[in-house]
Structure 1
Amino acid sequence: MFSNGVITTFNELEVSLYDYIIKNSDKVTYMRIRDLAKETHVSTSTILRFCRKLDCDGFSEFKVKLKLELDKKEDIQLKSMQYSLSEFMERTLKGNFEAYILEAAQVIAQTELVIFIGIGSSGILAEYGARYFSSLGKFSLYIKDPHFPIHANYLHNSTTIALSVSGESRSTITHINKLKQEGSKIISITNNKHCTIAKISDINIPYYVTEEKSNNSNITTQIPVVYILEATGREVNQLRNINSSK
């Protein structure tokens, strides 16, 4: 709606009007022209000139177009999320996905300590994973500090669960190398199995969803990671209950 060509034609008042509309789009669609003029400290005639530059006959038509644009964006975001989740759910019903989770759970069940590592949003999920596993009775810690020092003797009987969407996080790779040297077994959860982190792991669980970015930020859904963490944690708990009943 606001093309670069149109924006370059705005004068100073119209730029301030544009800035207000961008920041308050949902609110503007329900405002009267007098209300918008009062909020932006411009005249109604300035608003009407602004609308004509956007090929709108008046403020009412502008609000309709703005509302359609907002609805379109919301629909795209919803469809994108639905598609990513349907991709993941389809894959969980095929192939060796559950076998990967069982294999990981068997390794974790035999170790005393579980260490979750990740950076950014993966760091937040590392914290969640440690909390979830601890709630199930498995002693767990998390590392989301890229400069966290790793030099401990008790890591030989531990399992590290590395979280990374791209599988190329330098700080996570550095942590993995240090933890491997200390004897920790490495399980990684990544968006594909061809990344560096997957290749240097003992076990990799790839979930394969369409990667999404916004303004250079990775906004790929993390719902599959939560599912994998919880499914693995429950499997570990079940294995422990089976072993304790023998």
Structure 2
Amino acid sequence: MFNHEQIKKFTDVEMLIYNYILQNAQQIRFMTIRELADATHVSTSAIMRFCKKLDCEGYAEFKVQFKMYLEEKKEKQPLNDISEITHYFETIHHGEFEEKINQVADIVSASEQIVFIGVGTSGILGKYGARYFSNIGKFSYVIDDPFYPNIGHVSERAVAIVLSVSGETEQTINLARHFLQQRCTIVSITNSTSSTLAKMSHYNLSYYMTSQKNNKEYDITTQVPVVFILESIGRRIK
């Protein structure tokens, strides 16, 4: 249940339902379809479409399947704090994921210049990615300051690897747009394919983790998949 192929096809509304269900897993089995619709501020028909995308005939079947899914996860994974990470690694073992990683690795291998772009936590991961690629032998650098001056002309054979959890950070999108105008290849790593950054990129790698924020509204969504994706690309660089 909730495999990578299904999650990838979720609309924005369905991602909202998906996130709510994961964050309120124990309560879902007691909720009616109307209660779930009210809690997620969507229609009951949206809930039904969500269920059908999971190959369930209706909400009743979904609740049965979801209960079995939770029981299976409980048996497999006693540590709740790593269950989502474990689920991620279980869902990426398919040809499409490998094909995308290989495509990006080939593009990076043939590039003349690699620049990582990100702000905040994504900027820190960009520094890691630049160092990791440089260690492999492909010199890279990072722009983690949204007001970085004088970027100037960039080679058309440059690759910009843009990191953003939401894919909606204005400063990051502006930097990506600059490199796009310079005819660079844009590779984005985001939490969803439906974001602005993902849609404007030539290639997008998304990881679909539950979006989490603390009381101060700072994003604390796990970034373990981002490190894995960066290292997966790096290990395939020729």
Q: Write the letter of the residue equivalent to 1:225.
A: V
Q: Distance in 2 between matches of 1:134 and 1:99?
A: 23
Q: Closer, same or farther in 2 for the Cα pair 1:150/1:94, shift >3 Å?
A: farther
Letter in 1 for 2:106: Q
TM-score by length of 1: 0.62
Q: Which amino acid in the other structure matches residue 86 of structure 2?
A: S
- For the residues of structure 2 that align with 1:167 and 1:122, how far apart are their CA atoms? 11
Report if aligned partners of 1:156, 1:182 keep a CA contact under 8 Å in 2: yes
Deviations 1:73-127 (Å, cap 9, x if unpaired)? xxxxx62x31220231122113511111111111111111110011111000000
Using structure 2 for the length normalisation, give the TM-score: 0.64
User: In structure 2, what is the equivalent of residue 217 of structure 1?
Assistant: 218
C-alpha contact (below 8 Å) 1:111/1:159 kept by paired residues:
yes
8 A Cα contact 1:91 1:97, kept in partner: no
| Aligned residue in 1 for 2:228 | 227
Residue 183 of structure 1 aligns to a residue whose secondary structure is coil
2:117 corresponding residue in structure 1: 117
- The alignment status of 1:101 with 2:104, answered yes or no, reads no
Q: Say how many residue pairs are matched.
A: 159
1:235 maps to a residue whose letter is: R
Q: Which moved more, 1:166-175 or 1:91-100?
A: 91-100
1:137-148 map, 5 Å: 137-148=137-148
Aligned in 2, Cα 1:95/1:87: closer, same or farther, shift over 3 Å?
A: farther
- Partner amino acid for 1:221? T
**Which residue in the other structure is 1:182 paired with?**
182
Alignment deviations for residues 106-159 of structure 1 (CA, whole Å, 9 cap, x no partner) = 111111111001111100000000000000000101010011135433432210
Cα pair distance change 1:150/1:199, threshold 3 Å: farther
AA aligned opposite 2:204: N
Does the CA-based 8 Å contact 1:152-1:182 persist in structure 2? no
CA distance in 1, matches of 2:235, 2:95: 20
Name the residue aligned to 2:83. 83
2 CA distance for matches of 1:169 and 1:155? 25
Superposed CA RMSD in Å reads 1.3
Distance in 1 separating the partners of 2:150 and 2:84: 36
* CA distance in 2 between partners of 1:146 and 1:190 (Å): 18
Equivalent in the alignment of 1:169:
169
CA distance in 1 between partners of 2:154 and 2:205 (Å): 26
Unaligned runs of 5+ in 1: 1-77, 241-246
Q: 3-state DSSP class of the match of 1:114?
A: strand
Q: Percent identity of the aligned residues? A: 43
**Alignment check: 8 A CA contact 1:117 1:163 kept:** yes
* In structure 2, C-alpha distance between the alignment counterparts of 1:134 and 1:183, rounded to whole Å: 23
Aligned to 1:58: none
Following superposition, the deviation at residue 176 of structure 1 comes to: 0.4
Q: 8 Å contact 2:117–2:143 — kept in the other structure?
A: yes
CA distance in 1 between counterparts of 2:210 and 2:87 reads: 8
